[in-house]
Each structure stands twice: as structure tokens, then as C-alpha cells.
Chain A
Amino acid sequence: MKQRTAWLLVLPMVGWLVFFYLLPLGAVALQSFHLVTPDYEIGKELTLENYRRAMNPDYYPVLLRSASYAAATTLACLVLGYPLAYFIALHGGRHKSLFLLLLMLPFWTSYLVRTYCWMTLLQTEGLINTVLFEPWLGRPLDMLATDGSVILGLTYGFLPFATLPISVALERIDRSLLEASADLGGSPLSTFLKVVLPLSRPGVIAATLLTFVPAMGDFVTPELLGGPSTITIGQAIQEQYLQLFDWPFGAALALLLMVLMLIGIALYLRLSGSERVLA
């Protein structure tokens, strides 16, 4: 009886994910083993040619660059977001919901708009150059189309998604544990390191995944804030689908990206000893 209730509750979501996630991924996996025909149809014969092309050393720098952008972004988001989440959850007081509101508010505008904000700020004739660098350095700096501009844009884009799960995790910590730690002679620092930080780990792990995954595959930010030297794997995939119309090769690149990321995530979860947290 209870089994049936549980299944009835969970089935609609599972069905949806199977039909609109697993089946499409399966379809893409199949396509990646075919070649594109000259008139942009999917060929009939099976081949590994797309993977051979994708494993070409030409693509290593692209993959490496995407991964380092994602790693730098995740680090920046945790450094900026953890203290913020800590402040909101533990010092927010009765204004807690206001702080959370302020965190989410700018992010109700499109991700694209926020990237665009930085585009206008960082451009050669932009505000930062006209009020900061031109008076001080005597010349504007080229800030767009650099690694820095892409990482900045990604960090700006994903900061709230990193902060929110951490603040949820911090908020769930039983305050009496903090008092107990203080009563037993723990300094504020050791209370933080030995009580707060370990208990907030599920939030930090969620924040890391919520930042790293979208940052790794992102193509909007490098497209708008980057340049020819900042091409990411997301841009390479998108180009195959929408500009070169070589869907099977795009599929091979996409699957490769996904497999690499799944391996990375599995390793991360294992090393941080947190399979049980997510299960």
C-alpha cells in the first residue's frame, strides 16, 4: 500500500525525466555513431569517425580551457558566496527574507541581460575605462575578450545559485549546537571550523555542482564577453549544431563533454566523501 503511494507520487516526475532527458540523450548517443551526409541528413552506416575527430588534440585546449574557467568560477563563487550565505543565515535576523530577496532580485532579469551589463561596462569606451583607467593610466584597457572577462561574467551569473543552497544548509543547523560549542569552551573560529563548516557541507557540495556544471558547458558568456582566444567546448558544440549542421559530430562532442563531467563529478563526490549526503 505504502509502496504504491510512493510510486504514484514519484512516477510523474520520473516519467518526465525519462522521456525528456534519458530518451533524448539516447537519441544523441545513437546519432554520434553516424556520419552527416552532404545534404545534412544523418547517414545510415555505423562508425567511430566522429569520436576519432573529437579526440583530436586540436580539441584538448578547448576542453582544458572550459574546465579551468569552470573551476575558477566555482572557487570565486564559493569565496564570495559562503560569507554572504553565512551572514544571511546566521546574522540575517528578522531581515533574513529581505536579504534573500535582494540576492535573488537582480537574477530575475535574464542571464543574458546580466552578461550584457558587463559587456557595456568592460568595453573600451565603457564606464570602467572612462572613469578609472583613462584618468589613471592615460589609456583604456582592453578588458573584453580575455580569460578574466569570461570568468568574471560566469561568476556574476552563478553567484546566487551558489549562495542559496549554502544559506539553506546553514539555516538548518540547530543553533543549540553553536551554543553548546561555545559553552564547552570552543572559540568562535573552532566552532566555525568544527561545527558550522562540516554541517554546511551538503550546501557547499550542491553549490559547487550548481556552479561548475553550468559554467563548464556555458556558451553565452564566452560568446558575449570572450573572443577568439576564449572558445569553450559549449561554443564548439553549438557551432556544430547551428552553424555547420554536422549534428552527429556535435553529438560526439556533447557526449564526450558529458562523460568527462560525470567522471569528474563522481570523483569529486568520492573524494569529498559525500555519496551518502546525496543519496
Chain B
Amino acid sequence: MKRSFVLLVYTALVYLFLYAPVLVMALYSFNQDPRNAVWKGFTLQWYAKLMQDTEIQRALLNSLQVGLIATLAATVLGTMAALALTRYRFRMQAALSGLVFLPMVVPEVVMGTSLLAFLAAIGWKLSLSTIIVAHIAFCVSYVTITVRARLAGMDFRLEEAAADLGAGPWDTFRLVTLPRILPGVISGALLCLTISIDDFVVTFFTQGIGSGTLPIRIYSMVKTGITPEINAVSTLMLLTTFSLMLIYGRLGSGQEPSRAR
């Protein structure tokens, strides 16, 4: 009893460590002090300023477009690959399994600079599309690995039973496999969307003029100095995420598979 209390306190402290900086940042978006240092009174002026910032708005649209397209593509490709790597035995399987880990062992800055050099060499003009293909490339591994983790140790006799009972490969996948791996697929997609919207480094090197995402825009703002306007845009991002995740939580809670004890 006492031990789990210690664990509870520890967990609470780690959550505090995770949340306190974000909450202070959000609170300070309503702060009059332009240097973001001490509390000088409530204001909405930074939000008003944000509403007129067309560059921020364009960056936000770019971020959403990149994140959604990259997540969709990476989730489909990654789930397919995860199924192939767990469900079947085939030649070069080990080599391909290793390939999946490539994006995790190649530092982002190396990937970013090499994509920049490669795209320049083949003459693909940097734009939103170059950001999207780059994001799919690193997202696909995260999806594959997440879904594989879900599939590992899974019993495929159900699939065999479905096949024996006359279900085709597609029906077996749709009616038997997909519902069982769906939590893994959803968490893979969520991880993917998180990483894509979050990504700064690879985007930094693959962006063209006007195709910068929100992190890119914020970076150039931060480099010119701390201003509560950055707090304001971050807080709005936070609120959007909150609502999205609450909806996801609602949808997800009903689908949680019952765990055999």
C-alpha cells in the first residue's frame, strides 16, 4: 500500500513537471508584460495581434494539410507493412525489418540535410509537397513499429478459422484482423500526427517559400525575441488539441478491447 503511494506521488510530480511549464506559458499569454517576465495584469492584446497575423494563419493551414495527408498515407503504408512483417515469412524479411528502424537511427538533421541535397539534385522544387513526402517517410516507421508491437504475440488462428470458413483475404482483414489491431493503428496514427505537427528539423530543410509550417513560423519569431504573441498562438494550439483529444478519448473508450486476465 505504502509503495504504491510513493509511486503515485512520483507520478504526480512527473505530471507536474510536464504540465507546469505549459500552464505558465498559457497564463502568460494574458500578461501585459511584453518581456514575458513578471505578471503585470490581464490583457487580450496579444490575441488581438494574432488575429491580424496573416503569416501565422498561413503557417497553421500548412501544418494541418501536411499533418493530415502524411498521417493518412503513413498509417495505410505502415499498417500494411506491419501485417506483412508479422503475419508472413518471406525472404529478406530481416533486412526489411531493419530498414523500418532507419528513421530512428538517422538523426533528423542528417535526414533533413540529405533530403535537401537530394531534392536539389533531382530538381524537385521545395514546396508543401516536399514537406509531405518527407513527413510520410519518417512517420511510416513509427506506424509500422506501433502496429507490429500490437501484432506481436497475437494469435492468428482466428484468421485461419475465418479463411477455413470461406472468408476471402479482404473480408478476413476487414472483419477479423482490423478490429483487433485497431487500437494499435489508432495509436500509430496519433503518434504520427503528433510527430508531423511537431516536426521542426526536417521541415526546416524541406520547406519552400511560403510553405513553412507553424513550428517554422514560431522559430523565426522566437529567434527575434520572446513575445507573448508566441504564448498566445501556442495556447490556441493547446486548446484545439485539448478538444480534439477529448473527442478521441470519447470515441476510443468504447472500443478498448477487454483484456483477458
Contacts and interface: CB of A to CB of B under 8 A. Distances in A.
Interface residues of B, number: 100
Contact of B37 (A113, A123, A234, A278): A123
Scoring B113, B153, B226 by chain A CB atoms within 10 A of each residue's CB, the highest score goes to B113
B99 interface: yes
B116 interface: yes
Contacts of B111: 21, 24
B197 A119 contact: no
Nearest to B15: A102
B218 A217 contact: no
A13 B144 CA distance: 9
A79 B174 CA distance: 41
B88 A23 contact: no
A150 interface: no
Per DSSP, are chain B's interface residues mostly helix, strand or loop, or mixed?
helix
A51 interface: no
A108 B245 CA distance: 10
A178 to B, nearest CB: 11
29 contacts: A9-B84, A10-B85, A16-B140, A20-B136, A24-B114, A24-B119, A91-B7, A97-B252, A98-B249, A103-B18, A108-B241, A109-B22, A109-B238, A111-B200, A113-B230, A116-B222, A117-B22, A125-B37, A172-B153, A206-B145, A213-B104, A217-B108, A219-B201, A237-B110, A251-B114, A251-B117, A257-B107, A261-B105, A279-B97
Interface of A: 2-3, 5-7, 9-10, 12-14, 16-17, 20-25, 27-28, 31, 80-81, 83-84, 86-88, 91, 97-98, 101-114, 116-121, 123, 125-127, 130, 156, 159-160, 164-165, 168-169, 172, 175-176, 188, 206, 209-210, 213-214, 216-220, 224, 234, 237-238, 241, 247, 250-251, 254-255, 257-258, 261-262, 265, 278-279
